[in-house]
């Protein structure tokens, strides 16, 4: 596994060969067999609940039962040295694993992964980093694009895209990103979000 740093502040890097092709195929096949994909939602800070949004059109499988906890543990092993400044950083800082499926025409528009910003303190346990694992690459489109930084990550099966947003409002804003529309085929990714504090009694979104 090798890491290619794409940007230093905010920190963005691309990992080669985080998962083997066989591991990727297993996750795709197993998640499809469970048949639990639902239309992806966003968290509305105004309504304080999950809602549908026209700028996020994928389907998601939220691993509430821990079927894919090994994925979370593997991402922790890869990233744990990135969070040495957090006392007792552990796998408990990771949200439950989420798998997303993007069919032709589906996308996610420009957004930030963190909740807080510019004086809005929605939670005292905000997200501070994201790891995206690309489970396949036999499709067209679907690149991850960072708007302000003009960085575009092309999916490669088994690779991972990692970025931090534990800075301050200005730098955090630079991590605004989008998943471009799928032109042909179906895209599968794993998303692992990291929180500032351990997550006790985890529930969806917040």
The pTM (predicted TM-score) of the whole model is 0.94
Contacts of 147 (CB under 8 A, 6+ apart): 110, 176, 177, 178
Residue 201 lies in a domain: no
Residue 113 lies in a domain: yes
Please give the pLDDT value at position 121: 86
Six token digits for residue 21: 């092709």
**Domain limits at 178?**
2-195
Residue 34 lies in a domain: yes
Specify the CATH number for the domain of residue 180.
2.60.120.620
Number of structural domains in the chain: 1
Give the number of other CB atoms < 10 A from CB of residue 38: 9
Give the up-direction half-sphere exposure of residue 117: CA atoms within 13 A in the CB hemisphere: 19
Residue 203 lies in a domain: no
Residue 206 lies in a domain: no
Residue 202 lies in a domain: no
pLDDT tens digits for 135-192?
999 999 999 999 999 999 999 999 999 999 999 999 999 999 999 999 999 999 999 9
Residue 32 lies in a domain: yes
Residue 16 lies in a domain: yes
Band (pLDDT 50/70/90 cuts) for residue 201 is low
């Amino acid at each position: 596994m090798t890491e290619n740093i794409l940007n230093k502040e905010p920190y963005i890097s691309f990992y080669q060969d985080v998962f083997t092709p066989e591991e990727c195929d297993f996750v795709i096949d197993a998640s499809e067999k469970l048949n639990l994909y639902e239309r992806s939602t966003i968290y509305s800070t105004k309504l304080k609940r999950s809602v549908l949004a026209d700028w996020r059109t994928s389907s998601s499988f939220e691993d509430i039962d821990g079927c894919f906890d090994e994925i979370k543990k593997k991402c922790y092993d890869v990233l744990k040295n990135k969070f040495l400044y957090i006392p007792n950083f552990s796998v408990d800082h990771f949200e439950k694993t989420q798998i997303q499926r993007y069919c032709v025409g589906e996308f996610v528009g420009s957004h930030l992964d963190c909740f807080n910003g510019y004086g809005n303190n929605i939670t005292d346990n905000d997200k501070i980093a994201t790891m995206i694992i690309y489970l396949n690459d036999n499709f067209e489109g679907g690149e991850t694009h960072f708007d302000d930084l003009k960085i575009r990550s092309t999916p490669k099966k088994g690779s991972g895209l990692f970025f931090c947003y534990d800075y301050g409002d200005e730098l955090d804003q630079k991590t605004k990103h989008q998943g471009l529309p799928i032109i042909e085929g179906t895209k599968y990714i794993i998303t692992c979000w990291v929180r500032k504090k351990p997550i006790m009694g985890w529930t969806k979104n917040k």
